[in-house]
Structure 1
Amino acid sequence: MDDGLIEFVDVLSDEPSEHVLSAWELVKGRHYQPILTTCSGLWRYRLGDVIAVKGFAPDDGMPVINYMHRREDNGSSLETCTESELTSAIISTAKQWIGQITGFTVVRDERKMPYAFGFLVEIEGEIGNDAIMVPQKMSELLMASSFGYRYAFWKGVIRKPTIRLVGKGIFEEFRRWKCDKAGISLAQVKVPVVLSDDTSKEWFLSKVIREL
């Protein structure tokens, strides 16, 4: 480009943020924040994006990148993880450590800071003997599978997930409650993966019977 060049900062590096890298210094599999540097070198502008290096082009050796997400410097958003990552995490850990899940949703747990992903879970049958291990196991899984979670955790802006159990039939009861409140049919009500509505959140929290 005529008015500058793109350089990069490794978002997980312990190096100071002023330590910028050229394209040929990038490493496959790592994540970077692009920085626009003017030709004079006097000004640098953080573009605010996070990219992952998938590999390098065979013809010119330039990095092949994949856009990941917009960087949130305060780490305060539930967008730290995707709904798919949260779903995979609870299903995978529950199968081994909790029991058969019949319903779950996630709220922002700010009972103490930093915040946590607060899972509200309904299970079928008896709870597993080692269910107390679930918060740690889920955190380990998210560390391995989610760049957003790993970055936020290392920055100290998020803590291990919390898991609270609700009574049997609560998710069905919630759907009926929403039906009555909105005057719609049961088929139209789905419990979201991430629950942001304060009224619904308070309703679910009032149904908690145990925390792991």
Structure 2
Amino acid sequence: MTFLTFFVDLIHHIQEHWGMLVHSVRDGRIPEIEHIDHVRTYLQVNFRANPQRAEELQNIGPPLTCSAWAQRVWPNLETLVCICSGTFATVMPKARSILGQNVLIQNAGYGCTECIMGRTLNVDDTETFVFETGDVIEFLGISEALVHDNILQAWHLQPGKCYQPVATTEDGLWRYLIDDIIQVTGFDPRSGSPVFKYYGRKNLAIRLPYAAITEAHLISVVRAIDTEDIVKVQEFTAIVDRRELPQTVGFFFETTGDTGRLAKFGRQNAFEALVATNEEHQRAFDTGRLRLPTIRIVRRGTFAEYRLWRAESMKAGIGQIKVPVAMSNEDQQEWITERVVMEL
């Protein structure tokens, strides 16, 4: 299982190497691609020339030249299953333009390294989940101390409030405090299990002297300015911007097009959205402890490059690499700063 961002990366890779792909399909030869020497022989045995298919692909054209490209290339494609909620939802419009309206984008469910905890409530809703698992899931209020007396059962939960799941696995009965925050929205009338939305990671926050800015707050700011008139955001990350005093929240955006006619108001709009999450930001601004958020645009393909860079440095699969919502590592900050092409 992988992330929706990886699917979009894959499509961009096909776009970049379209000519080579069509040529390889036509003549039946694996192209000279780096890092596959150890498997090339095995791949070539199963790769056959298909001039008719190459002609079909040539007539359709590369992915980003038409809408619903995937349906034209794979007419039987019905469903894309991936992790696509939370921060991964920012690439949903791009994925939808590639897939077309008739292909279902289905979230893989809700889980963590320790266990699978739930599924989507409805297959066409990628944001709403219901707990369904053979493991034991308990809960902790997000402001409560981690002691036994504060652990809540599912029937104690209140719609509208946020909690951290506490998972006890059936294999070994280990108990884990999951570092996610979920917001309960109700209960499934069929099973009575809590229905919830993913709110964010508890440890992924930008900490300023007077307040913490959570993952959910950052997402709400991005959504507030993600418009045709300002800038269409494909992916983002954020840092504490200390280039000038007072410090502030700094955003890095990869966009899907040019900036809009109201882009000059982007920073003000971002600030207003930030204040909507916590009025302390307004008081900090009024007393000179905070300036308007900064917005820097990086070149196209930066976030895909980041995943490749991190995968190679960590010797991990690229499909499992996530761009952090809040980037605190100085090396990572320097890396992405080098790819800035514009600042609002």
TM-score (structure 2 length as normaliser): 0.38
Pick from 112, 116, 119 the counterpart of residue 251 of structure 2: 119
Residue 208 (str. 1) matches residue 334 (str. 2): no
Q: Distance in 1 between matches of 2:247 and 2:229?
A: 23
The aligned amino acid for 1:170 is: T
Aligned to 1:76: 209
Structure 1 unaligned blocks of 5 or more: 1-48, 50-65, 67-73
The question of whether the paired residues in 2 share the 8 Å contact of 1:175 and 1:190 is answered with yes
Task: Check conservation: 2:224, 2:269, Cα contact below 8 A.
Answer: no
Aligned twin of 2:224 = 92
- Structure 1 moving runs of 4+ over 4 Å: none
Q: Do the aligned partners of 2:230 and 2:265 also contact (CA within 8 Å) in 1?
A: no
CA distance in 2, matches of 1:181, 1:148: 39
3-state SS of the aligned residue for 2:271? helix
Q: Which residue of 1 aligns with 2:323?
A: 191
Contact kept, 8 Å, 1:143 with 1:150, in 2: the verdict is yes
What one-letter code is carried by the residue in structure 2 that aligns with 1:121?
Answer: F
Gapped runs of 5+ residues in structure 2?
1-142, 144-160, 162-206
Looking at both structures, which has the greater relative contact order when contacts are Cα pairs under 8 Å and sequence separation is at least 6? 1
Cα gap change, 1:123/1:75 in structure 2, threshold over 3 Å: closer, same or farther? closer
Q: Cα distance, 1:126 vs. partner? A: 2.0
Map of 2:98 onto structure 1:
none
RMSD: 2.4
Q: Which residue of 2 aligns with 1:159?
A: 291
Query: Are residue 142 (structure 1) and residue 274 (structure 2) matched?
Result: yes
Shift of 1:84: 0.7
Matched residue, 1:45: none
- CA shift digits 1:127-161 (9 cap, x unpaired): 21221110011112222332342343233211110
2:218 and 2:281 map into 1 onto residues whose CA distance is 10
Seq. identity, %: 32
Larger radius of gyration: 2
**Kept in 2: contact 1:107–1:194 (CA 8 A):** yes
> 1: distance between equivalents of 2:208 and 2:218?
16
Is the alpha carbon distance of 1:187 and 1:195 closer, same or farther for their aligned partners in structure 2, counting shifts above 3 Å? same
Note the C-alpha offset of 1:89: 0.7
- Identify the range of structure 1 (136-145 vs 93-102) with the bigger mean alpha-carbon deviation: 93-102
SS of residue in 1 equivalent to 2:259: coil
Residue identity matched to 1:80: A
Question: Matched residues in 1 for 2:284 and 2:216: separation?
Answer: 18
CA–CA distance in structure 2, aligned partners of residues 137 and 187 of structure 1: 34
- What is the TM-score when the length of structure 1 is the normalising length? 0.61
